[in-house]
């Protein structure tokens, strides 16, 4: 019997692999997301998976094979980055759709292998660059639509996160904004001028990164783990306006109508209320159902990590390491 056009499709059965801070939040949202059923979580840490299972009332298992055996349709990979490649390939080979947390992999070759495997198997692949789904980012993107973009400046700073041990600010923080620059410009980064330094951490904790995109936009990212408070701001200059967005408070302001005397008009733009992770996972479900393409493609993820690795001055087949800068 054929389905009625208005019949609700069955929920997508999803599992989450890795339930640290980000993985827990994925599982939390999925447990209450229309169109999804949280089948279970997987984590090798008995205590952590038990705690999350108790909080969410879901099944907890040690590894990906256990989730596959339970008949998941899709998997969210939120394990540490160095495990993304092996976990994602295991899921894809089993025919499961995959959302891989950012960065997609620690090196370009592994990232490209994930993309190639998903394409060959015909499963949906999406990369978890959650900042794309921040309502303030949407408001900025709408404000500059059709404009000639001249420059973009992004600041993403804050105190050192105790959870961080194996990467520096470029991979942890700047990769968000590398992706946003490409998202805002509809282009890709062709030139980089990076300055990175380890001031108090083992890996780079200060980065000043300058870029030029293929369509001529100048951009820079200022990021560090030295600022005692969090700040996330975006400044976009176009031929006709200047847009300022605060990604934490989700306030977006537009300056326009410049006059010869230097005066201008200003207005606050409407910003929708939404939890970015909930929007991201909703878009992932749409991609799994074939309703829309993945909002952040595997190729997008490869481009972001490739640029981040270039900023660190390392080869594709090496683990990102600090490039020391004089001073």
pTM of the model: 0.91
Give DSSP secondary structure letters for 173-223: IIHHHHHHHHHHHTS-EEEEEEEEE-SSSSS--EEEEEEEETT--EEEEEE
Residue 316 in this model has a pLDDT that exceeds 70:
no
The tokens of 299 are what?
């190729």
105-109: long-range contacts, CB 8 A cutoff, minimum separation 24 = 105/81, 105/301, 105/305, 106/81, 106/82, 106/167, 106/171, 106/305, 106/319, 106/320, 107/305, 107/309, 107/316, 107/317, 107/318, 107/319, 107/320, 108/302, 108/305, 108/306, 108/309, 108/316, 109/316, 109/317
- Structure-token pair, residue 226: 């030295």
Taking 80 as the threshold, does the pLDDT of residue 159 lie above it? yes
DSSP 170: I
Q: How far, in Å, CA of 234 to CA of 47, rounded?
A: 39
Dist CA 68 CA 23 (whole Å)? 17
What is the average pLDDT score of the chain?
93
DSSP assignment, residue 79? S
How high is the pLDDT of residue 317?
Answer: 45
Query: For residue range 110-130, what is the model confidence (pLDDT) as tens digits?
Result: 999 999 999 999 999 999 999
Question: pLDDT band for position 39 (50/70/90)?
Answer: very high
Q: pLDDT-derived band of residue 324, with 50, 70 and 90 as boundaries?
A: very low
- Judged on CB neighbours under 10 Å (0-12, 13-18, 19+), 199 is exposed
Domains of the chain with bracketed CATH: 12-129 (3.40.50.720), 132-277+307-312 (3.30.360.10)
Dihedral sign, CA of 31, 36, 37, 41? negative
Average pLDDT over residues 98-106: 97
Q: Does the structure show a pLDDT above 70 at 315? A: no
Q: Which residues contact 70 (CB under 8 A, 6 or more apart)?
A: 15, 39, 40, 59, 61
pLDDT over threshold 90, residue 303: yes
Which pairing describes strands 97-101 and 74-77: parallel, antiparallel, or unpaired?
Answer: parallel
Look at residues 198, 200, 171, 183 and name the one whose alpha carbon lies nearest to residue 134: 183
- pLDDT surpassing 90 at residue 161: no
Model confidence at 321: pLDDT above 50: no
Residues 260-269 have a mean pLDDT of 95
Q: Is the pLDDT of residue 202 over 60?
A: yes
53-57, 133-137, 200-204, range with the lowest pLDDT:
200-204
What confidence tier does 6 reach under pLDDT thresholds 50, 70, 90? low
Angle at 102 between CA 54 and CA 318, to 5 degrees: 120
The tens digit of pLDDT for each residue in 205-256 reads 999 999 999 999 999 999 999 999 999 999 999 999 999 999 999 999 999 9
Q: Indicate whether 1 pLDDT > 80.
A: no
Q: Residues of the chain with pLDDT > 70: what percent?
A: 93
Rounded-to-integer distance, Cα 300 and Cα 305, Å: 9
Residue 51 has pLDDT above 90, yes or no: yes
Sign of CA dihedral 27, 9, 125, 191: negative
For residues 170-189, average pLDDT: 97
| Angstrom distance (rounded) from CA 27 to CA 58 | 9
């Amino acid at each position: 019997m054929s389905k009625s056009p208005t019949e609700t499709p069955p929920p997508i059965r999803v599992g989450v692999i890795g339930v640290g801070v980000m993985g827990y939040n994925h599982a939390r949202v999925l447990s209450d997301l229309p169109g999804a059923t949280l089948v279970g979580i997987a984590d090798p840490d008995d205590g952590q998976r038990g705690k999350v299972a108790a909080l969410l009332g879901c099944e907890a298992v040690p590894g990906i094979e256990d989730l596959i055996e339970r008949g998941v349709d899709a998997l969210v990979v939120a394990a540490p980055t160095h495990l993304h490649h092996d976990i994602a390939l295991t899921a894809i080979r089993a025919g499961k759709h995959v959302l891989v947390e950012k960065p997609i992999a620690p090196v370009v070759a592994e990232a490209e292998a994930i993309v190639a495997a998903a394409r060959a198997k015909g499963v949906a692949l999406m990369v978890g660059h959650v900042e794309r789904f921040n309502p303030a980012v949407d408001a900025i993107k709408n404000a500059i639509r059709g404009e000639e973009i001249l420059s973009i400046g992004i600041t993403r700073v804050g105190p050192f996160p105790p959870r961080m041990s194996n990467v520096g600010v470029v991979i942890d923080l700047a990769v968000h904004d590398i992706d946003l620059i490409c998202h805002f410009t509809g282009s890709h980064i062709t030139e980089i001028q990076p300055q990175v330094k380890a001031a108090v951490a083992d890996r780079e904790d200060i980065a000043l990164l300058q870029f030029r995109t293929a369509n001529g936009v100048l951009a820079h990212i200022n990021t560090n783990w030295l600022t005692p408070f969090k700040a996330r701001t975006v400044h976009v200059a176009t031929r006709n306006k200047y847009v300022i967005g605060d990604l934490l408070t989700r306030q977006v302001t537009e300056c326009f109508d410049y006059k010869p005397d230097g005066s201008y008009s200003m207005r606050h733009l409407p910003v929708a209320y939404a939890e970015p992770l909930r929007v991201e996972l909703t878009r992932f479900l749409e991609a799994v159902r074939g309703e829309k393409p993945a909002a952040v493609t595997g190729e997008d993820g490869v481009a972001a990590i490739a640029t981040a690795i270039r900023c660190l001055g390392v080869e594709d087949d090496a683990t990102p390491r600090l490039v020391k800068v004089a001073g």
